[in-house]
C-alpha cells in the first residue's frame, strides 16, 4: 500500500478491515476464500454492526485491494450483498464564537495544530506531518502534497500563526542540537532552522 502512495491513515484502515475479515472467518487464509465469504462478511457488518454505507464501502475497498494486489485473484464485480441504508449523520458546525471559545481553552501544546486545522483547513494527518519546507512565510501559504485523493493544493496561512510556527521550528532546532550531542543519534542538518537562526542574528 505504501509503495502505491496510500496515506498512512488509509493503510491503517485497510489493515483493520482485512484483519476483521480474517478473524470473522475463524482465521482462514484469504486465499482459501473468495466471493461468497466476502459477501457473507459484508452482510454481517451491516446486519450486526449497523455500519454506514461509507464504512461498508471502505471495508469492500479493503478486501478488493487484498484480493487484487495480494492474493492475485480479483473479486467479482457483481457481488450481491446487503447494502447499508443507515442515514448519514449531519455534521455539527461550530459558530465563530464557539471556535474562539474552544481555542481559548487549548493549551500551547495543541493550539498551533488546532489553529492550522481551523485556519488553513488542514486535515489531521496533514497537520501532523507538516514539513517546514512546505510553509511559505513570505506568501503566507502552505503547500499540501499528496492529500486526500493523492492531490496537491495550496492553502492560506493565518498571519497570527506565523510567530507560533517560527517558535515551533526553533524548538525543533533545539531538540536537534541535543540529538547531535548525543552519541547514540546520528542527527540531520535542517536547512530551514539554520536560515531562521541567521535571520534572528541579523
Distance CA 185, CA 164 (A): 27
* Of the candidates 137, 139, 125, the residue with the CA atom closest to the CA atom of residue 164: 137
pLDDT confidence of 8, banded at 50, 70, 90?
A: confident
CB–CB of 112/165 below 8 Å?
yes
Question: What is the per-residue pLDDT for 189?
Answer: 58
Question: What is the per-residue pLDDT for 149?
Answer: 74
pLDDT in tens, 173-185: 888 788 888 887 7
DSSP letters, 25-72, are: TTT--GGG--HHHHHHHHHHHHHTT---HHHHHHHHHHHHHIIIIIS-
Cα distances (angstroms) measured from residue 54 to each of 14, 84, 90, 126:
13, 9, 14, 22
Bridge partners of 142?
135, 155
Counting residues of the chain whose pLDDT is more than 70, the rounded percentage is: 92
Cell of 70: 495480494
The residue length of the chain stands at 202
pLDDT confidence of 90, banded at 50, 70, 90?
A: confident
| CATH classification number, 2-70, choose in 1.20.58.2050, 3.30.2390.10, 2.70.70.10, 1.10.150.130 | 1.10.150.130
Cell of 151: 492531490
CB–CB of 38/45 below 8 Å?
no
pLDDT in tens, 70-87: 999 999 999 999 999 988
pLDDT confidence of 197, banded at 50, 70, 90?
A: low
Question: What is the per-residue pLDDT for 101?
Answer: 94
Q: Which residue has the cell 457481488?
A: 79
CB–CB of 92/56 below 8 Å?
no
pLDDT in tens, 137-165: 999 999 998 777 778 999 999 999 999 99
Cell of 81: 450483498
Domains of the chain, residue spans = 2-70, 96-201
* Of the candidates 164, 155, 159, the residue with the CA atom closest to the CA atom of residue 120: 155
Average pLDDT for residues 5-31, to the nearest whole number? Answer: 93
What is the chain's mean pLDDT, rounded?
Answer: 88
Q: Note the pTM of the prediction, 2 decimals.
A: 0.62
Question: What is the per-residue pLDDT for 5?
Answer: 78
Question: What is the per-residue pLDDT for 191?
Answer: 56
Average pLDDT for residues 94-116, to the nearest whole number? Answer: 91
Amino acid at each position: 500500500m505504501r509503495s502505491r502512495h496510500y496515506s498512512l491513515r488509509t493503510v491503517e484502515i485497510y489493515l483493520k478491515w482485512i484483519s476483521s475479515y480474517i478473524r470473522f472467518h475463524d482465521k482462514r487464509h484469504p486465499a482459501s476464500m473468495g466471493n461468497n465469504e466476502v459477501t457473507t462478511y459484508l452482510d454481517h457488518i451491516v446486519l450486526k454492526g449497523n455500519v454506514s454505507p461509507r464504512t461498508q464501502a471502505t471495508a469492500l475497498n479493503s478486501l478488493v485491494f487484498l484480493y487484487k494486489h495480494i492474493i492475485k485473484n480479483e473479486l467479482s464485480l457483481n457481488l450481491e450483498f446487503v447494502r447499508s441504508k443507515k442515514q448519514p449523520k449531519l455534521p455539527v458546525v461550530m459558530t465563530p464564537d464557539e471556535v474562539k471559545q474552544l481555542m481559548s481553552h487549548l493549551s500551547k501544546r495543541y493550539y498551533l495544530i488546532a489553529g492550522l486545522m481551523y485556519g488553513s483547513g488542514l486535515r489531521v494527518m496533514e497537520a501532523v506531518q507538516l514539513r517546514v519546507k512546505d510553509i511559505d512565510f513570505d506568501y503566507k501559504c502552505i503547500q499540501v502534497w499528496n492529500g486526500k485523493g493523492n492531490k496537491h493544493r495550496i492553502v492560506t496561512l493565518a498571519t497570527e500563526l506565523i510567530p507560533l510556527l517560527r517558535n515551533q521550528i526553533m524548538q525543533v532546532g533545539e531538540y536537534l542540537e541535543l540529538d547531535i550531542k548525543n552519541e547514540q543519534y546520528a542527527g540531520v542538518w535542517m536547512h530551514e532552522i539554520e536560515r531562521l537562526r541567521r535571520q534572528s542574528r541579523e
